[in-house]
Chains A and B, each alone.
Chain A
Amino acid sequence: MSPLLAAQGLGLRFGTVIALDDVAVEIWPGEVVAIVGESGSGKTTLLRVLSGMMPPQAGRVLYRDPEGGQHSLFDMPEIALRRLHRSDWGFVYQNPRDGLRLGISAGGNIGERLMAAGHRNYGHIRAIAAEWLARVEIDPGRIDTLPRNFSGGMQQRLQIARTLVTSPRLVFMDEPTGGLDVSVQARLLDMIRGLVAELDLAVLLVTHDISAARLLAHRIVVMQQGRVVEAGLTDRVLDDPQHPYTQLLTTSVLSA
């Protein structure tokens, strides 16, 4: 077996600011990897580079397709990358407004990915959409409601349903619980954990929330000032941090 995604030697600077400095990351099928660090540590930039949204100045990212073929992400034509984003990959944005069409019904939002994948049976698309609404704990009776009439938590769950409906193997999540109330966060994390296990998803999760990382991730990558300062199994990193920065993070001395 080989990783779904493997990055080596990633480097990126914005003017004098170093966003990524010789970063290497791998993610394997069915594995949840959390990238943690305070804001400005480069974790969101890393997610954007790994998902092909932003090219790095150095290094490369290799993607393995379901047939086992290897592709260098930034050498792929845009059409292939875009297709990848609506089939084998998914992206869950921190702000659900970035990942949803607010003027299109909940059912239409879920149906979009199916239709992009070639589904052409209205009844079938609708049935799958209703099923997915139920899976993310939204009343299927609201299938024709516009997401702008949903609460923030419901919007986020709808975004997850829309992303997962085509059974991607790898999902990128950028602070998926950010901006939500604490009680809503807990319920959402629980739901994500259930879906990840059930669907055997690989997830690259960016979060500043150590408890979210502990709950979801198998492995943790700690970033500081564009560098990976520590990486390893979640329990090991959180319970026995080696790097002083990780020690600060886990004792919550740093506010992320």
Chain B
Amino acid sequence: MAYVAVKGGERAIDAAHGWLAEARRGDPECPDLSLTQIEQQLGLAVDRVMAEGSCHDRSLAALAIKQARGDLIEAAYLLRAYRTTLSRFGASRPIDTDAMRLRRRISATYKDLPGGQILGPTFDYTHRLLDFALLAGTPPPPAPQATPKREAAPRVTGILAAEGLMRPETASEAAPADLTREPLAFPADRSMRLQALARGDEGFLLALGYSTQRGYGNAHPFVGELRVGEVSIELQPPELDFPIDIGDITVTECQMVNQFAGSKTEPAQFTRGYGLSFGHSERKAMAMALVDRALRARELGEEITAPAQQEEFVLLHSDNVESTGFVEHLKLPHYVDFQNELEKLREIRADALRNAAE
């Protein structure tokens, strides 16, 4: 009987894992994927896995994608599980996105601005027509080259702030709480919220951000600026009094500019929504910025009416490692509880049928 198989499952599990390994590999006649190929040619998948796995390591992320057969949530989970095993020897200084080596930088709020609009490698203006040249493996013609202008690219939010139109943020030197070490507590402060959003599921944040645009949360967003490029990671060991550069990473940063109606005590002004993500992930950074702004409703005294504004709802359901675990755990045996349910239902039905007969 099938039930017995579940109990004597050790051999079955081994066999299932064997089958999985084979299925992952696919046809052995077909060449094995190298991690370099994944890193190079599926780079955006690698970026997403690093962001949601909250661990910046391109080759480990590529390995996770390979091992997960391209299931990116499973890959993020593999990376998170690996991250647990790493010891921590310090915290980097805050990255300085002002000093980013820009690969892409656009503003939707100005036609032109200091530092210019840099389109960079973007899908935005491509026509989504399947390119059968890729099927043939034809290499693309070389892209035109230019020397980067070394012109400062001030932040759009800074430009608006100089005119007093941007609601100021209060700077804090306090060490932020660390979501990877401490549980979320509610109400959560903004640094905690941003940490949760930064590793939140792209699809979930996308849907929530979209809902705010459709009237569920009353957002009036503009992309003040979106920038993608390399920033230095600096570490200041306690024994030194200067920071050391330990390498560069690619990040995507989005600053959304939103209308704020103002109140009796504050004049109307713009407010910020902020998004930052590992690698090149514009959708994620933008969705995060929309949701960040929506979650500021309480702080700004706005009425909380929509799902995206509800902090607990958003933050407790944004982590796809947690969500997938709990949804998928329903596959585990639940027959002890179910047996109880069966008995209870039979009892209630028997009573009802008896009463009806009387």
Contacts and interface: CB of A to CB of B under 8 A. Distances in A.
In the complex they form, whether A and B have CB atoms below 8 Å apart is answered with yes
Interface of A: 103, 144
Contacts of B303: 103
Interface of B: 264, 303, 305
Nearest to A102: B303
Nearest to A146: B303
Nearest to A144: B264
Nearest to B264: A144
A144 B261 CA distance: 14
Contacts of A103: 303, 305
A63 to B, nearest CB: 35
A103 B264 CA distance: 15
3 contacts: A103-B303, A103-B305, A144-B264
A103 B218 CA distance: 13
Contacts of B305: 103
A144 B303 CA distance: 15
B219 to A, nearest CB: 16
Main SS of the interface on chain B? loop
Nearest to B303: A103
B70 to A, nearest CB: 46
Contacts of A144: 264
B306 to A, nearest CB: 12
A144 B265 CA distance: 13
Nearest to A104: B303
Nearest to B304: A103
Contacts of B264: 144
B298 to A, nearest CB: 14
Nearest to A145: B264
A211 to B, nearest CB: 38
Nearest to B305: A103
A103 B261 CA distance: 14
A159 B216 CA distance: 26
A188 B305 CA distance: 31
B275 to A, nearest CB: 27
B201 to A, nearest CB: 30
B51 to A, nearest CB: 35
A181 B181 CA distance: 49
A233 B264 CA distance: 52
A176 B305 CA distance: 27
A129 B127 CA distance: 55
Nearest to B302: A103
A91 B213 CA distance: 34
A144 B305 CA distance: 20
A103 B306 CA distance: 13
A250 to B, nearest CB: 37
A155 B264 CA distance: 21
> Shortest 3 CB-CB distances between A and B: which pairs?
A103-B303, A103-B305, A144-B264
A144 B264 CA distance: 10
A224 to B, nearest CB: 26
A144 B263 CA distance: 11
A192 to B, nearest CB: 30
A103 B303 CA distance: 7
B216 to A, nearest CB: 14
A29 B60 CA distance: 81
A103 B302 CA distance: 9
A252 to B, nearest CB: 35
A5 B254 CA distance: 61
A241 B330 CA distance: 63
B314 to A, nearest CB: 20
A252 B193 CA distance: 56
A207 to B, nearest CB: 33
B206 to A, nearest CB: 27
A103 B305 CA distance: 10
B209 to A, nearest CB: 22
